[in-house]
């Protein structure tokens, strides 16, 4: 049974031509096709030439979006001793030690990012099955296992995002909101592209970037010309 597409979505799909779009043109079309009654996110869906079942073809890293995410990020920190006060003073929304681990085990998930100090990780490990599927498990690669709590909190509040390729080698990542200016969305998208190139897995074979589509949360996919995005210099945009 095929899923019926609403008239609204069908009309939006018709606005997208069967071709690759230049970055600025694609971003303007993304804004034009964001017609939901809330401020939608701008999303990138990137198919890479990797097979994440091999450890040397996995991609998990962080990007700092220069223009921010457009979201209020709720940060939880698991620490002990003086680090608890340090996290609170640095602006963490939820802070705790063993008692916070217990609350999370019981289903408390009122946060977008979870940061832990290295000395707490043996106890945090028991949350792996719960947090892993949600992409919330602290990791050194993701910048969420650290003793430098003020810096980590500041970066995530300012627009740092952790992302990873899924098991099919596709990266799904939000790079702003549709009420951003086209220029600001382009800066964030360019920063994301450079980050993915910089963190290319050593085992990647053949063509690394296969396809990139951008869309609003409820809008149609818009195919992007990868080489045009690569040719843009971030320094000229900021």
pLDDT band with cut points at 50, 70 and 90 for residue 42: very high
Write the CATH number for 98: 3.40.50.790
**What letter does residue 70 receive in the DSSP assignment?**
S
Cα torsion through 98, 99, 102, 103, rounded to 10: -140
- Structure confidence by residue, pLDDT tens digits, 150-162: 999 999 998 899 8
Give the model confidence (pLDDT) of 186-231 as tens digits.
999 999 999 999 999 999 988 999 999 999 999 999 999 999 999 9
Q: Are residues 129 and 170 in the same domain?
A: no
**DSSP tag of 224:** B
Which DSSP string do the residues of 127-164 spell out, in sequence order? Answer: GHHHHGGGT----TTTT-B-S-HHHHHHHHHHTEEEEE
Task: Provide the whole-model pTM.
Answer: 0.81
The H or E element spanning position 94 is strand 94-96
Q: Domain range for residue 23?
A: 15-69+160-237
Instruction: Using the predicted structure, report yes or no on whether residue 170 has a pLDDT greater than 70.
Output: yes
* Statement to judge: residues 124 and 79 lie in one domain: yes
Q: Which of 104, 126, 157 marks a domain boundary?
A: 157
Q: How far apart are CA 217 and CA 161, in angstroms?
A: 17
Angle at 136 between CA 198 and CA 73, to 5 degrees: 85
Which pLDDT value is given to residue 1? Answer: 46
Instruction: Tell me how many domains the chain contains.
Output: 2
Q: pLDDT digit string (tens) for 59-108? A: 989 999 999 999 889 999 999 999 999 999 999 999 999 999 999 999 99
pLDDT at 130: 92
d(CA 6, CA 10): 6
Domain shared by 64 and 93, yes or no:
no
- Reported as a single tens digit per residue, the pLDDT across 16-34 is 888 999 999 999 999 999 9
Task: Please give the pLDDT value at position 238.
Answer: 65
Distance between start and end Cα atoms, the chain:
48
Please tell me the predicted confidence (pLDDT) of residue 35: 87
CA 154 to chain centre: 17
Which stretch of DSSP H or E encloses residue 14?
helix 7-15
The reply to whether 221 falls in a domain is: yes
Do 171 and 141 share a structural domain? no
Compute the distance between CA of residue 220 and CA of residue 10 in angstroms, rounded to an integer: 9
pLDDT value at 12 more than 80: no
Of 157, 176, 209, which residue constitutes the final position of a domain?
A: 157
- How far apart (Å, rounded) are the C-alpha atoms in residues 65 and 207? 25
């Amino acid at each position: 049974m095929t899923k019926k597409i609403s008239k609204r979505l069908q009309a939006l799909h018709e606005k997208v031509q069967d071709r690759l779009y230049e970055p600025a043109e694609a971003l303007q079309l993304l804004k034009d096709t964001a017609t939901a009654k809330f401020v939608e996110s701008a999303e990138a869906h990137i198919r890479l030439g990797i097979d994440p079942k091999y450890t040397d073809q996995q991609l998990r890293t962080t990007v700092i979006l220069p223009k921010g995410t457009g979201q209020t990020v709720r940060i939880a920190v698991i620490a002990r001793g003086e680090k608890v006060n340090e996290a609170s003073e640095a602006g963490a929304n939820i802070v705790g030690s063993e008692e916070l681990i217990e609350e999370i085990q019981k289903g408390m998930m009122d946060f977008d990012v979870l940061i832990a100090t290295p000395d707490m990780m043996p106890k945090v490990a028991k949350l792996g099955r719960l947090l892993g599927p949600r992409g919330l498990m602290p990791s050194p690669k993701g910048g969420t296992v650290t003793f430098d709590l003020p810096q980590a909190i500041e970066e995530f509040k300012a627009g740092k995002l952790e992302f990873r390729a899924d098991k099919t080698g596709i990266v799904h990542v939000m790079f702003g909101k549709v009420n951003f200016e086209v220029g600001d969305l382009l800066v964030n998208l360019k920063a994301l592209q450079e980050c993915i190139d910089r963190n290319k897995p050593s085992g990647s074979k053949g063509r690394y970037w296969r396809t990139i589509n951008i869309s609003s949360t409820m809008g149609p996919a818009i195919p992007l010309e990868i080489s045009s995005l690569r040719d843009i210099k971030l320094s000229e945009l900021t």
